[in-house]
Amino acid sequence: MTDKIDKWLRSGPEAVLRKAGLREGNRVLDLGCGQGRYAIPAARIVGDTGWVHAVDKDRQNLREVKRRAAKEGLRNIDTVHVHVARHSAIPIQPGTIDVILIYDVLHGFPEKAERDNLLRQVHRLLRPGGFLSCCLTHLREFGWTYKKTLAEIADAGFRLRRQFRPTLVHAGKLVRVRIFQFAKPG
Ligand SMILES: C[S@@+](CC[C@H](N)C(=O)[O-])C[C@H]1O[C@@H](n2cnc3c(N)ncnc32)[C@H](O)[C@@H]1O
């Protein structure tokens, strides 16, 4: 199993992001980036003509993202330290982002007012025609359902375009998850 996990960690995140539709030249925001499992391969995919903002509330995670980016010689990524809460704003210019990733993060927003603020901000930051890629995890623990969560995201002004079901490493295990792709109508 460890071999399989190691193998996935080497090439799996990049494959997931390509399936999600990331392309060279995209401007990406990874919200709740952790230590950069997706932000680093996203920077590889978008290349010199794109950019990745890696956003997290945990400074230690952001230091690790910087370390990994430096190790790979990636110059197209910055880290943004912000604790997104009911009243906080992500300090990035509205309407400038092509793709926002929210992977394994939404459960960190158990209060509806916080989720609403988060989704309002995501909507504001995306350019019209941009998309939100959302990997929903831990729903059962919080008594949520896909239906309820997808409805909340739709209420924030997004349109569900498609979903895919990759296998990825979550909480140290290979599991099958659902990733939902939402558009911000142009
Ligand atoms: C489970 S990790 C997921 C990391 C990464 N997205 C992945 O899938 O590997 C959740 C991350 O979201 C961050 N996070 C949780 N709540 C947050 C908030 N309110 N504002 C900013 N970051 C937050 C945590 O610090 C953590 O790094």
In DSSP notation, the chain reads -HHHHHHHHHHHHHHHHHHHT--TT-EEEEET-TTTTTHHHHHHHH-TT-EEEEEES-HHHHHHHHHHHHHHT--SEEEEE----SS----S-TT-EEEEEEES-GGG--SHHHHHHHHHHHHHHEEEEEEEEEE---TGGGT--HHHHHHHHHHTT-EEEEEE--EEEETTEEEE--EEEEE---
At residue 123, the pLDDT reads: 97
Which residues of the chain fall short of a pLDDT of 50? Answer: none
Q: Which CATH number fits domain 2-183: 3.20.20.20, 3.40.50.150, 3.40.190.10, 3.40.50.300?
A: 3.40.50.150
> Which residues approach ligand 1 with their CB closer than 6 A?
32-34, 37-38, 56-58, 61, 83-85, 103-105, 108
At residue 113, the pLDDT reads: 92
Domain borders along the chain are 2-183
Q: Is the pTM of this model over 0.85?
A: yes
29 Cα to the center of ligand 1, angstroms: 13
At residue 21, the pLDDT reads: 97
47 Cα to the center of ligand 1, angstroms: 24
At residue 86, the pLDDT reads: 80
Instruction: For ligand 1, atom 11, name the residue with the nearest CA.
Output: 32
At residue 1, the pLDDT reads: 61
At residue 130, the pLDDT reads: 97
166 Cα to the center of ligand 1, angstroms: 20
